[in-house]
Structure 1
Amino acid sequence: MDDKNKILEDMESINLGNLNTIEFDLVLPRMGEHGSMISWISSDTRFLKRNGKVIQPRHGMGKRVVTLTGVFELGSYKMTKEYTVTIMEENDSFEVRDLMPIIVHAQVNETFYLPNSAVITTANDLKLSHTIDWEGKEACCFEEPGIYQIRGHLLQSNFPVSAKIIVHRTYQKPLLYKERNCISCEGNVALLPSSFLQAMRRKVDALCEIDDDQMLYNFRMNAQLDLHNAQPMIGWDTVDSKLRGHTTGHYLSALALCYRETKEKKILNKIQYMIEELGKCQDAISHIEGYHEGYLGGIEESQYDALENFAHYPEIWAPYYSLHKILAGLLDCYQYTYIEKAKQIAERLGKWVVNRLSDIDKASLKRMWGIYIAGEYGGMNESLAQLYQLTGDIRFLQTAMKFDNDRLMVPLQQDVDALCWIHVNQHIPQVIGALKIFEGSHQEKYYTIAKRFWDFVVEAHTYTNGSIGEGEIFHEPYAIASMIDDNTGETCASYNMLKLTKELFSYEPKVKYMDYYERCMVNHILATQIQDIPEASTYFFPLEPGSKKSYTDENSCCHGTGLENHFKYSEAIYFANKDDVYINLFVSSVLNFDKQDVSVDMKVKEECPEDIHIKFIGAKKCKLHIRVPYWHRGDILVTINGVLQKTIIEDGYIVMDQLWENTEIHVQYHCSYFIEETPDRSDIISIHYGPYVLAVISQSQEYIQYQIQDIEKQISKQPQELKFYDLVNRVELLPLFQIDQHSYHVYVKKG
């Protein structure tokens, strides 16, 4: 290589980690692998020094976005590369006003652990989850029944804490024997022509172009196997990244989901190749010094050693997060292809986790999971609970419970929204895992945690398009207008919220779950793809005035979930049990559900989403439930075989129970225009047409003053198209999923 290409290689290989939520000094290399000399320039040395030292803004000043420029020089060549660094403000030096009582029930002669977090109320009325120092007394055991008290204090504070311990002669944790009410008809649904099918087909093409050997690069390197002349991975999976391997896990899941949807032979061949080669890597790694039987990963096992010694980022990144993606990918491959080898590899890897955590006390585990970034573990609890369901080995379920995170779960058990200042996507998968643990254990607390979390998030932390989080962080409840910027709506968070929503619906088929699902799927997930670059997806979904979507294919977390997202559109359209079929989402599709001997053919024009045509074929009587969407206004017209029907609505669904073979159903809703105010500022609004969030097309970086006279009359829609024009404000509007390279305003200011 000449000097120029050496610089380009060095620029590609440099990985500074996740720069979106920085609270610590950066490690800035001074020389590249190919000899480039590197110097660094900061756009704001008040917060980021040229040597990587970070000075966080004081609490109340807000985060700071700094441009860090790397200057690469070799020979006569000099080139630059910019990195965007988001530096978080310092935590509040808050005054504690109150603390929720801590009551623990226990049984005599059984060791239990005190919660390591408590819900505090600050002087300015914030509810926060804060760590407790029990002064080494986390593990407790009492020989006699009675009421005891243990004292401690809040970490980094002298504020006193006490726990009331009620010791029973016999005590059983409350159980809830709640079974699933219905199941998703996923795998039995074929999408018909629509924007959803187009997005899926683009992603099929992108998957087919991915080099499997490149996806295996880090695993083969770790296993000391031949690299098959593959190119190294980029982004968060470069050879010097401490998260390498996570994208390969997402790739496995994407392939599995793609095969479920398409049954394409080429995709199955890729799955078979990946599974076979990963099996070889697992076999080889198990014989290398420093590794233990069953381990499989793109990172060294020593990262897990460091976590057990409470190492922080960037010494390590998030080893169990990366591991979860691999384990989840293997389980997805087995679920949708029944390749036994995938299950065998997953089971060996699961046993490695069981053995790894078996001798670590609970207090240390809680401390590990509480370490920011380094302790992030994705949905390890979910995957282990899945392994229990597959194998019946109770050790997997017991180990899944070892991932319980008190900072998240204690407030939820007390029915308190204390999500403020915690990382969004670090915690949603933990809640999904709690629900999966409930499925195996029936312990009531896990179901309660999942339900309350969903309610808090959707009620108080969700933007108008269904997305969540600003700068990857939860903020105060109902703080929406005050948190509108370019780092809103992490795509990973919506991916996981939809997954949680679907799971909760299967237990309780409530219309609120599918109202949220539709809003988020249509206005965030479908809008994350760029038409000309099918392999790319969004990380954040910017909502500030004059935003433009920014796309990436650098193997970030959101690129990983982006590989999967567009194969999941069929998952929540239909649910069923032995007596009922639910139509939840109005996406043109065909359901052939052999378990029920039911067929549904649904056609919906996107430009006319209120007009639903359904052909229902059932060999036996069953009750059909058709969701009444949140955006409907006025009367509903329903005909069966051309005959007008009396509309019966139960729990937010049109209900029909007199259906026969070849029943033709037509449902006519009213697709109206309406506005939604933000909860913290009534003058900041979003504009909607039926299920679609409409964005104003404008390059202005100030809020548009939006005059509202009669919203139904002032907006004109082009026939047979989703293009809109406001005659009063003289602006063009488009649904978010149709915006590609436009500058847009999701929120406007009421004039």
Structure 2
Amino acid sequence: MAPPLSRRSLLQAAALAASTPAVSLTTTGRAAATVQEATAVAAAPSAWTVQPFALEDVALRPGLFAEKRRLMLDHARGYDVNRLLQVFRANAGLPTGGAVAPGGWEGLDGEANGNLRGHYTGHFLTMLAQAYRGTKERVFADRIGTMVGALTEVRAALRRDPAVLSVPGKFGTAADQVRGSYQYVDLPADVLGGASAITLSVWVRPTHDANWTRVFDFGDDTTRYLYLAARNQAGVPRFAITTSGAGGEQGLDGTAALPLNQWSHLAVTIAGGTGALYVNGTAVARNTAMSLTPAALGALKNNWLGRSNYSADPVFAGAYEEFNVFSRALTAAEITELQSRRAADASTGRGDLASYAFDETAGGTFTDVSGRNLTATLRRTWGGPSHPGFLAAYPETQFIDLESRTTSDYTKVWAPYYTAHKILRGLLDAYGATDDDRALDLASGMCDWMHSRLSKLPESTLQRMWGIFSSGEFGGIVEAVCDLHTITGKAEHLALAQLFDLDRLIDACAANTDILDGLHANQHIPIFTGYVRLYDETGEERYLTSAKNFWDMVVPHRMYGIGGTSTQEFWKARDVIAGTISATTAETCCAYNMLKLSRTLFFHEQDPKYMDYYERALYNQVLGSKQDKPDAEKPLVTYFIGLTPGHVRDYTPKQGTTCCEGTGMESATKYQDSVYFAKADGSALYVNLYSPSTLTWAEKGVTVTQTTGFPEEQGSTLAFGGGRASFTLRLRVPSWATAGFRVTVNGRAVSGTPKPGNYFEVSRTWRAGDTVRIAMPFRTRVEKALDDPSLQTLFHGPVNLVARDAATEYLKVGLYRDAGLSGDLSHSLTPVPGEPLHFTLDGTEWAPFFEGTEDPTHAYFRRSEPKVVFGGRDSGVANPAKADGTTLLDEVWAGAPFRNKGALVARVRSTVDAWVAAGLLSRADGDKVVSTAGTASYRP
């Protein structure tokens, strides 16, 4: 009897049996054919009851979003993409054209040895694709073509054995070993010939100053060896020979560091118990007690140029020319002679044990011209060639290591599948924007490679891998693979997407069990967008249910007022907000991915809460994460946004090129992606955001031009163009719009009662010239931290207002003294003339969070209402508070809005009676409070 199939095997079998048509994932208003022979056109997934428009169908008009985007487009045009490609080309052993790798996470000297390099190139490709789709500027398409072409060359090179990279040398040509290529020269075992006297002579041009890089190293392991390091721990050349490990080394140390990017001649001689080290013809070290020679070492297994027998040592980066091994000690005069001519032209002649001129300009071997025919071979430390489809800016070793790893160590393995996702996503977006078949081929190849690797692993191994913090992080790869599957129709691609199931997380969230405390936030948010897409592809309900429940665990239970989440990248306990505020709150990537998840869930269920959240996070954290100044070299985007008092935003974090700068580039080139959605059957148009823009709805033959200064303007106007079309216009009524939401069509009021936190419908046959006007007056309100009601943040309509003050303690702020009957707190603020959305309060300036300045800000403040004051009239009574910090005034104004003054006084009386009964307020003071409320005057 055959054993029962595991759930994963059943899923794979079902995927392999399901032969879906080859279609292209497109969006409403855009049709694209695939590269398959039998082309097909598809809209968004059939499970989506609402569909987005393509970026090219929604044009941003002048306003806040267009200005922020302009700054990022300047960066997209100005940054040298060859710098991004440098790490890929280096990894493949290709010429880098002198390009300097980006700093930070994209360079070998960045955090964790650059173990995330390559991710930023994916972000950049996505930015370029979005920029091209949104503007149709040819420069963006051209840059995409450059990058895709280079990555195509890189993948091909990774599939081959390493090839010589010929560069100008000291006398003729030289062989370059690009840093990051992990290449070295492997010499035959008999290269030292068991000599009892020897000279090793070489020209090198180092390009990096890492300690312990080997010019050459001949040995068995770390016990018996002979090496020359370009730099020891003191930064100077060192020669050593030993038969008993590091403790038994007989050595020669130089006196000065070798200059970078310049040719230096190094020579070592050993004979008669004396060793000498020469640098550029000068003896810099001599040891008369050097009893060891190659003869004492015997036959050696590893004979390398550029690689160390100590595996942790870096590989030599730089060029080689003229490596000669002589079976005698050259004289000082002979070594001096080698400074000005090749050995073949000098009195020494070529080395009799080995001689490599490095004149080769192709191939992967170097000829020995000593007469001994000891041909050397160019190799990579990580082996190779890579497996078919592999594409990365580092070797496959991280992926291999992860499969046996049980603990996190990002200096060894830093989220390789996360990086793969970014590259894959960038390639898919590049294909979607330019129809470049090379990008699709690269993307498909990557997924073929991942499937061939992951499908061979036991399910228990996969579950362990995906549960490891950081190392097992895979970002939004499931979403990207599902999107690819809709293009290729390959069953293996759908099967691959399901190999990233993290069952513990899915099952807990599907059961609505909150297990987020202690989890890395951005490791998990994008997972759920992918699971929603898996629901689209498979119909398996647990994926969608888990994602919806997960969203509810974050919003509002782990959400700061600006829409951000996480502290120091992690989640804490549910409903702990004040207790988690720090300088490292609200990682920008988290906001980016929560927006993606929110809009994807909205495609399935049009709950306005998703778009309420979208507006909150977009208008506050996302806009505020971008600095308001141009820079061709940096995107100027925050990593964390600290919410501590007096925090100053850092727009070039962690040396640059972080994940958040990458998602920041993407966010700033797709601001229009959720302004409008369409009902899948074309029966309705959703207006989700009030943003100046023009929608071209090709299927309906209409255009909708939205004119607004929102959020400076408290409303918007929609003008229709094109032909006649019948559909329902669904206008989002923000949950904060409690002061009214009024709609007119062609100047006539539309009947109905718009409800905050819902959509208001207007159904008709629309004609060119129709105009819809929306008015939504703003109110000023506070939102309280869930775990500390006295810690609050201030909103004016959708806009979070921050105090600009250098103090590092929470400001104490009172707001009730002039509150209106509506509960609006704006009367306590004084508008700043000529500066919309800027106010002063007790001498402190308050400004929109979305302004990307370097001013110290206070997003949260300590609410302080020491006296009971109504309409500016002081009762003389101290404002009492409950144990949780809720004050008498808090409870009174929680009943707002009030129909009239009488309703307010009634609320005051009932609240006072309750507090007197609870022993929190004396009757005499209570009577004063009620009397003051009755005699005060109030604004609406």
User: Is residue 694–residue 735 contact of structure 1 (8 Å, CA) maintained in 2?
Assistant: yes
CA contact (8 A) 1:113 1:363 kept: no
Out of 397, 414, 417, the position equivalent to 1:320 is: 417
- Contact 1:695–1:735 at 8 Å: present in 2 too? yes
Q: Helix, strand or coil for the counterpart of 1:278?
A: helix
Q: Select 1:203's aligned residue among 33, 47, 72.
A: 72
Query: What's the CA shift string for 1:701-735, capped at 9, x where partnerless?
Result: 111111122223111224563243344x3321000
Aligned twin of 2:747: 642
Query: For 2:402, what is the secondary structure of its paired residue?
Result: helix
The match for 1:306 is 401
Q: Distance in 2 between matches of 1:380 and 1:478?
A: 30
Q: Tell whether 2:671 aligns with 1:569.
A: yes
2:726 counterpart letter in structure 1:
K
Matched AA of 2:669: F
Listed as ranges, the matches of 1:430-449 within 5 Å are: 430-449=527-546
2:610 is paired with a residue whose SS is: helix
Note if 1:214 corresponds to 2:83.
yes
Paired amino acid for 1:749: R
Pick the aligned partner of 1:658 from 745, 764, 767: 764
Which residue identity does 1:611 align to in structure 2?
Answer: G
Aligned partner of 1:41 in structure 2 is none
* 2:389 counterpart SS class: coil
Aligned to 1:626: 731
Shift, 1:341, TM fit: 1.3
2:694 maps to which of 587, 590, 593: 590
The aligned runs of 1:271-420 (5 Å cut-off) are: 271-288=144-161, 289-310=384-405, 312-313=408-409, 314-420=411-517
Q: Assess, with a 3 A threshold, how the Cα gap between structure 1 residues 720 and 668 changes in structure 2: closer, same or farther.
A: farther
1:673 aligns with 2:780: yes
Query: Unmatched 5+ residue regions in structure 2?
Result: 9-44, 162-383, 820-824, 865-940
Corresponding position of 1:611:
715
Q: CA deviation at 1:644?
A: 2.0
Counterparts of residues 499-578 of structure 1 (less than 5 Å): 499-534=596-631, 535-552=635-652, 554-577=656-679, 578=682
SS in 1 for 2:793: strand
Residue 105 of structure 2 aligns with which residue?
236
Hey, what's the Cα distance between the residues in 2 that align with 1:108 and 1:439? 32
Cα deviations across residues 203-241 of structure 1 (Å, max 9, x unaligned)? Answer: 111111111211111111111111122112211111341
* Percent of aligned pairs with the same amino acid: 32
Alignment of 1:488 onto 2:585: yes
* TM-score, normalising length: structure 2: 0.60
Q: CA deviation at 1:381?
A: 1.6
Larger Rg: 2
**Structure 1 CA distance, aligned partners of 2:133 and 2:833?**
36
**Equivalent residue, structure 2, for 1:265:** 138
Distance 1:542-1:108 versus aligned 2 partners, 3 A rule: farther
CA 283–292 in structure 1, closer or farther in 2 if over 3 Å, else same: same
Asked whether 1:111 is paired with 2:218, we answer no
| Matched letter for residue 527 of structure 1 | G
Q: 1:744 aligns with which of 857, 860, 878?
A: 857
8 Å contact from structure 1 (residues 632, 690) kept in 2: yes
CA–CA distance in 2 between the matches of 1:203 and 1:646? 42
Structure 1 contact 648–656 (Cα < 8 Å) conserved: no
Distance 1:607 1:386, change over 3 A: closer
Equivalent-residue separation in structure 1 for 2:2 and 2:513 (angstroms) = 30
Query: Contact 1:321–1:379 at 8 Å: present in 2 too?
Result: yes
1:557 partner letter: C
Per-residue deviation, 1:597: 1.9
Residue 706 (structure 2) aligns with: 602
The answer on whether the counterparts of 1:609 and 1:690 sit within 8 Å (CA) in structure 2 is no
Deviations 1:387-435 (A, max 9, x none): 2111111111111111111342221021111100000000111111111
Quote the Cα distance in structure 2 between the aligned partners of 1:260 and 1:639. Answer: 33
Alignment-mate amino acid for residue 653 of structure 1 = Y
**In 2, Cα distance between equivalents of 1:454 and 1:364:** 28
SS at structure 2 position matched to 1:343:
helix
CA contact (8 A) 1:648 1:655 kept: no
Work out which of the residue numbers 52, 65, 68 in structure 2 matches 1:184: 52
1:434–1:447 Cα contact (<8 Å) kept: yes
Normalising by structure 1, what TM-score? Answer: 0.75
In structure 2, relative to structure 1, the CA distance for the partners of 1:607 and 1:629 (3 Å cut) is closer
Partner of 1:714: 828
Residue matched to 1:724: 838
Structure 1's unaligned 5+ residue stretches are 1-106, 115-176
1:381/1:433 contact within 8 Å kept: yes
2: CA distance, partners of 1:291 / 1:413? 39
SS at match of 2:114: coil
Q: Which amino acid aligns with 1:656?
A: V
Structure 1 CA distance for aligned equivalents of residues 539 and 597 of structure 2: 17
Pick closer, same or farther for the CA change 1:671–1:305 going to 2, 3 Å. Answer: same
Partner of 2:848: 735
CA distance in 2: counterparts of 1:224 and 1:601, whole angstroms: 51
Distance 1:740 1:386 in 2: 37
Alignment of 1:247 with 2:120, yes or no, is yes
Q: Matched residues in 2 for 1:323 and 1:494: separation?
A: 21
